[in-house]
């Protein structure tokens, strides 16, 4: 983690140092099993300060009136079964140590529905306590982001929330984001919260979405993020899929 990132941690989290990931120069996914591709090991983290595109804050919330779970109990469920709440188009390979500060997870995500090739990337657990946890993206991820999952009470009702502070990582990802990637991403998190709510007994979950453009400027000094782009790597693999099928290569 760079000093710049360490100084700009998400403001809605506790300042207990034991809940924060230790500073690292390069990430390692050695604690993850099951993923066919590790495109994270050796990369640095890259949060919204290091992204290229416009800066967005997206907040997704769902009320859970049909459950007696406290916020702490809900977060325990969310952490323990995190991968099961994702849409079927994506796979989350959790670290063996679980969702804990400093741990790295790997992801396979279909860039568009029906894609024959998955976008392989990951996240680092930047922060975790008994009421919230925050992921930070690595270099090459389509979004340079902090994503915080939390729970709180509104009267007698527990509310689950996912909030992302994100910039598309490079010009290619910014274009894809504007041409529909943003809406696909929104749908991903709405589906995730819907699955979580149904898991804890809510029959007809309603996910509320709030999207705010925090900064319309593009950070041209980060145009070189293109060199690590997982999105470009995925496009190359998609275009080369027929040839690999004919030659037997992977």
Nearest-angstrom CA–CA distance, 186 and 209: 8
**Which tens digits make up the pLDDT trace of 148-186?**
999 999 999 999 999 999 999 999 999 999 999 999 999
- Block residue for tokens 């340079």: 144
| Strand ranges (E), the chain | 55-64, 90-93, 104-109, 119-128, 132-136, 143-154, 157-168, 207-215
User: Which residue segments constitute the domains of the chain, with CATH numbers given?
Assistant: 3-247 (3.30.530.20)
* Whole-number Cα distances in Å, 125 to 73, 107, 185, 208: 19, 13, 20, 25
Q: Residue 57: beta bridge partners?
A: 165, 212
> In this predicted structure, what is the pLDDT of residue 28?
96
**Which tens digits make up the pLDDT trace of 103-158?**
999 999 887 666 667 789 999 999 999 999 999 999 999 999 999 999 999 999 99
Q: For residues 95 and 229, which has the higher predicted lDDT (pLDDT)?
A: 95
Residue 189's nearest CA partner among 101, 114, 89 is 89
Q: Which residues contact 96 (CB under 8 A, 6 or more apart)?
A: 31, 32, 33
């Amino acid at each position: 983690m760079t000093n710049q990132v360490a100084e700009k941690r998400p403001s809605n989290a506790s300042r207990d140092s034991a809940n924060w990931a230790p500073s690292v120069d390069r990430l390692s996914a050695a604690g993850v099993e099951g993923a066919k591709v590790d495109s994270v090991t050796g990369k640095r983290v890259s949060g919204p300060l290091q992204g290229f595109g416009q800066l967005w804050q997206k907040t997704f919330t769902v009320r859970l009136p049909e459950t007696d779970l406290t916020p702490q109990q809900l977060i325990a469920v969310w952490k323990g079964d995190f991968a099961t709440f994702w849409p079927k188009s994506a796979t989350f390979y959790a670290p063996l140590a679980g969702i804990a500060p400093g741990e790295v997870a790997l992801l396979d995500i279909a860039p568009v529905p029906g894609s024959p090739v998955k976008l392989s990337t990951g996240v680092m657990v930047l922060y975790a306590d008994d009421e919230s946890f925050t992921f930070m993206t690595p270099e090459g991820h389509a979004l340079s982001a902090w994503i915080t999952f939390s729970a709180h009470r509104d009267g007698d009702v527990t509310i689950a929330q996912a909030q992302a502070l994100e910039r598309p990582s490079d010009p290619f990802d910014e274009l894809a984001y504007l041409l529909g990637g943003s809406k696909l991403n929104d749908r991903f998190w709405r589906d995730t919260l819907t699955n979580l709510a149904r898991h804890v007994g809510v029959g007809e979950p309603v996910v509320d979405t709030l999207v705010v453009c925090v900064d319309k400027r593009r950070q041209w000094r980060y145009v070189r993020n293109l060199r690590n782009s997982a999105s470009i790597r995925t496009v190359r693999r998609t275009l080369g899929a027929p040839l690999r099928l004919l030659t037997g290569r992977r």
